[in-house]
Amino acid sequence: MKIRKGNRKDIPVLAKLIASLEPWAAYGVNYERAKYILTNMRDQIYVAEQEGKMVGFITLRGYGMGEFGAYIRMLAVKEAYKRQGIGKALMNYACKVLKPYGRNVFCVCNVKNQAACAFVESYGFLRVGIMEDLYQKGYDEALYRKTIP
Ligand SMILES: CC(C)(COP(=O)(O)OP(=O)(O)OC[C@H]1O[C@@H](n2cnc3c(N)ncnc32)[C@H](O)[C@@H]1OP(=O)(O)O)[C@@H](O)C(=O)NCCC(=O)NCCS
């Protein structure tokens, strides 16, 4: 598995993956919306590949939380490649890239997204608190923080 910087050519493939996944589909993020988000976000994108095919990606922003630290906005692994360490490898890569931006990395997971919450907690993120109705009424999001050693 190889991790490389993403570029505009990756956007259609990444948008297809985003639109197929529950956390975003629940917010009405379809293929067109996903393409719009990826095209307009200021975050860096990193893509995990196996045999030349995208199997997952992560997006991050150095000062995404201002002086408090960095923000990881999106992370996803294709269904068939889950539980093979790809999410962890993308996180490891992200934390290395983000180290110069300060000691804290933050991310947000929907509290009902048990896989994502279990994943970030297994990676050492601590839940700061719950932000009720953050994007939409009825959708509570957990804010997580990890201090990079
Ligand atoms: C969350 C996600 C990125 C994890 O990716 P992954 O490549 O499957 O994760 P890894 O294989 O690196 O898992 C590392 C550890 O995280 C934990 N973990 C991962 N998925 C889990 C699950 N479904 N249930 C419980 N623990 C889980 C485990 O401790 C796992 O170690 P183990 O497999 O040795 O037990 C993936 O499930 C995904 O793409 N989900 C849909 C998109 C999403 O929800 N993104 C996050 C939005 S904030």
pLDDT tens per residue, range 36-72: 999 999 999 999 999 999 999 999 999 999 999 999 9
Testing ligand 1's pocket by substitution, the residue of 83, 92, 110, 135 carrying the most ligand atoms inside 8 A of its CB is 83
Report yes or no: 35 and 10 within 8 Å, Cβ to Cβ. Answer: no
pLDDT digits (tens, 9 = 90+) for 96-141: 999 999 999 999 999 999 999 999 999 999 999 999 999 889 999 9
In this structure, the residue with its CA closest to atom 4 of ligand 1 is: 87
Q: How far apart are CA 95 and CA 90, in angstroms?
A: 9
CA of 110 to the centre of ligand 1 (A): 14
Characterize the bridge pairing of strands 70-77 and 104-110: parallel
How far apart, in whole angstroms, are the C-alpha atoms of residue 128 and residue 105?
12
Alpha-carbon gap, residue 40 to 8, rounded angstroms: 11
Distance 30 CA to ligand 1 centre (A): 22
Q: Indicate the CATH number of 2-147 among 3.40.630.30, 3.40.50.10790, 2.40.50.180, 3.40.1670.10.
A: 3.40.630.30
Nearest C-alpha to atom 22 of ligand 1 is from which residue?
115
State the closest ligand 1 atom to the C-alpha of 79, by its place in the atom list counted from 1: 39
Instruction: For residues 109 and 4, give the distance between their C-alpha atoms in angstroms, rounded to a whole number.
Output: 24
What residue type is assigned to position 12 of the chain? P
